[in-house]
Chains A and B, each alone.
Chain A
Amino acid sequence: MYRESDVVYRYDGSFEGFLCCVFESISQKEIPFDILPWDFAATTLFSEKDIPTEIAKATRVKSSFSKKLGKAAPTCIAHAFLSCHPQKELLLLRFLILGYAKGPAVLSMAGHPDVAPVLAMEKQVSSEAHQFTGFLRFCDYGEFLGSTISPKNYVLPLLRLHFCQRYPSENFLIYDQTHNAVLLYFNGVSEYLILDKPPVFPAVSAEEQAYQTMWKQFYQTISISARENPRCRQTHCPKRYRVNMTELADER
């Protein structure tokens, strides 16, 4: 039986770090009051426990997912961890503890209070990533294609495969404003970077400007004025996406 404890775990914010928190919790048979990254500046009344990241422990926990929770579990957990939910670590921990007891069935227990929030986080992350596969706009800077996005969740890892497959012969850069991170794809190799300050994009060429104008013109033309429906558009394309969309940025 797990004991509800009022200790707060502090970890380095990485997925491996979180897995070490899971290891700690399960070996101590305790559920912490909260799990927070080190850089999360909040002092609590509760005692804190620093959880160091040890690859050996993380690997052990990770390999348990597919063994104990079924084939679909590793992806689901990894995606849910990218969520911006402030308590994602604790929600995932409760889900895992239930999962180790119930086995692979846990993923289909959609009505359970420990399972539903994890499925919801996974859904939110995947659907935001899916939105960005469409709403992201590249700008041709000659040497490379550049793009800026401002997602709620950390979706870059979910965009990597999609865009690397789609543009294998291009060089591109996707800048995530919210998390100050960059996905680079140059000469067929992709990598993530965390930036200190926003990247400076070069000036836009006349040719690029011409294509942007043509795209805006196409966008204006394709709409049927007799059917105008701003609320329907708003539902499908919320305003937060429009900041970085060529055809909608001016309209806001």
Chain B
Amino acid sequence: MDLMQKLTILADSAKYDVACTSSGVNRGGAHGSIGSASAPGICHTFSADGRCVSLLKVLMTNVCTFDCAYCVNRRSNDVPRAAFTPQELADLTIQFYRRNYIEGLFLSSAVLVNPDYTTEQMIKALELLRGPYRFRGYIHAKAIPGADPLLIQRLGILADRLSVNIELPSAASLDRLAPDKKKASILTPMKQIAVGHAQNRKELAVYRNAPKFAPAGQSTQMIVGATPETDRQILKLTEGLYHRYSLKRVFYSAYIPVSQDSRLPALDTKPPLLREHRLYQADWLLRFYHFDADEILDDDNPNFDPFLDPKCNWALHHLEQFPVDINRAPLEMLLRVPGIGPKSAKRIVQARRHSQLGLDELKRIGVVLKRAQYFIVCKGFTSAHGTNRRAIASALIDPNVFTAHTEQLSLFSLGETPQLSAAGISPDLTLPQAKEAAISCIANRM
């Protein structure tokens, strides 16, 4: 089998892995070596599905001894199988890297023979890169659950970021769909990496040439929509992971049916992309906007509103906290105003030291006044707070949901939003009609 075929098979098997980020570590170049890394990360291209391609994302092998129902590489699936040799993979990475196609390597693997053997193969490839090739670019490696802690330690020294996939949002779902994986076997390496990373930070503070263990931290991902968990459960789990294992990122992957199985949604189910989008929005609120999961969703509303992003939704449920005085409010409160993000909030705090801010200044700073105007007061402006509810609703509604050619967020992915029928919107309305109905629905709730 030639390299081209292997690359095709092993990239195809890796494409459902979500993370392709190259962020979290700064490393300059060095004489006689190749590569560097930049902390914000660099996207090298965008694939037809609009996702960033930053790393050469491949599996070491897709030959698997496990049989997880949701996975395209499961033992019982009849697909072509292949495996890279460590040498082939290292060569390919360097050649792609020289041409500036990629920022580095994302190496995952199916479980060949057993987790230890698989991890050893991955380590061999990474040792070639970091050793003889003197590669200083970015490497993201998957820790295989069940591998020996010493091997994971070695992997962490070679890679910049490690990740362990939590796969499904609850232990019950894991038992049902991935009988070979246990919750404990996933959380053990995750904990090991978290502890190892924290300990390494201390060592580095004492001795700056100490070997770095996963300097860009760890991430994880889970499949959304294959199992019955609510958005609230998923978000609580995410929050727990950020707190307990100090993860850098949690990724969500809308389930795309890859097999006919009675335990899974039918093959013609569309991936719940809108739900995934809302989860990411909420994830941002947790990480950059000082929100708690309990503020975003509660027992009465366990799922996201399909028409509103979680921040607008929160603001509409807490109108008593508005309007916010731009020239006085603390940063945390500015961050809660729809239309103000972390950057503009910071700029507002800096700029208001020098002069009182009015609408013109806010516009120049980059605040989205279309949404913010209903929630703020500033110099010469006393909030459009009192305007009619319909106008507010139509300014806040997520426009992407009703744009015909954004296939991604089309509301009419059947079965994805049960709230639709509850709001009196049937799938045979045209987009503008559906939008009107949604606006009325929001206005009535206010």
Contact = CB atoms under 8 A, between A and B. Distances in A.
Interface of A: 102, 105, 108-113, 116, 130, 133-140, 145, 147, 162, 164-170, 211, 213-215, 217-219, 221-233, 235-237, 245-248
Main SS of chain A's interface residues?
helix
23 contacts: A102-B354, A110-B364, A111-B347, A116-B365, A130-B42, A137-B99, A137-B100, A137-B101, A147-B100, A167-B34, A211-B96, A214-B92, A218-B11, A219-B47, A221-B11, A222-B47, A224-B16, A224-B51, A227-B254, A227-B271, A230-B50, A232-B50, A245-B45
Given A215-B96, A215-B101, A222-B11, A134 B256 contact: no
A52 to B, nearest CB: 36
Nearest to B5: A217
A134 B42 contact: yes
B388 interface: no
A227 B49 contact: yes
Residue from A105, A113, A215, A225 having most chain B Cβ neighbours under 10 A: A215
A166 B270 CA distance: 42
Residue from B95, B100, B408 having most chain A Cβ neighbours under 10 A: B100
Nearest to B31: A168
B93 to A, nearest CB: 12
Given A165-B36, A217-B4, A221-B12, A237 B48 contact: no
A211 B95 contact: yes
A158 to B, nearest CB: 13
Interface string B45-71: 111111111101100000000000000
A27 B256 CA distance: 68
B284 to A, nearest CB: 17
A138 B100 contact: yes
B47 A135 contact: no
A214 B3 contact: yes
B365 A110 contact: yes
Given A134-B103, A169-B32, A222 B53 contact: yes
Contacts of B256: 224, 226-227
A214 B273 CA distance: 30
Contacts of B14: 222
A219 to B, nearest CB: 6
B381 to A, nearest CB: 13
B360 interface: yes
A247 B4 CA distance: 16
A224 B49 contact: yes
Given A111-B362, A166-B36, A232-B50, 4 more contacts: A134-B103, A137-B99, A229-B407, A233-B47
Contacts of A168: 29-34
Residue from A116, A136, A229, A230 having most chain B Cβ neighbours under 10 A: A229
Residue from B30, B36, B49 having most chain A Cβ neighbours under 10 A: B49
Contacts of B4: 213-214, 217
Nearest to B276: A227
Contacts of B48: 223, 225, 228-230, 233
A161 B31 CA distance: 14
Contact of B7 (A138, A164, A217, A235): A217
A219 B45 CA distance: 9
Contacts of A237: 45-46
B115 interface: no
A225 B347 CA distance: 40
Nearest to B27: A165
B39 to A, nearest CB: 12
B269 to A, nearest CB: 10
B209 interface: no
A247 B99 CA distance: 12
B149 interface: no
Nearest to A213: B4
Interface size class for chain B?
35 or more
Contacts of A215: 96, 99, 101
Given A211-B95, A229-B408, A237-B45, A221 B8 contact: yes
Contacts of A138: 98-100
A43 to B, nearest CB: 34
B99 A165 contact: no
Contacts of B305: none
A205 to B, nearest CB: 13
A219 B42 contact: no
B406 interface: yes
B408 A134 contact: no
A109 B99 CA distance: 41
B353 interface: yes
Contact of A166 (B12, B35, B354): B35
Contact of B33 (A169, A218, A219): A169
Given A108-B351, A111-B361, A229 B8 contact: no
B15 A221 contact: yes
B353 A108 contact: yes
A198 B196 CA distance: 53
Nearest to A133: B42
Nearest to B271: A226
B318 interface: no
B74 to A, nearest CB: 18
A105 B354 contact: yes
B43 interface: yes
A145 B357 contact: no
B351 A109 contact: yes
A133 B36 CA distance: 12
Contacts of A222: 11, 14-15, 47, 53, 57
Contact of B347 (A110, A227, A231, A245): A110
B99 A139 contact: yes
A135 B259 CA distance: 36
Nearest to B10: A221
Given A108-B350, A245-B45, A227 B408 contact: yes
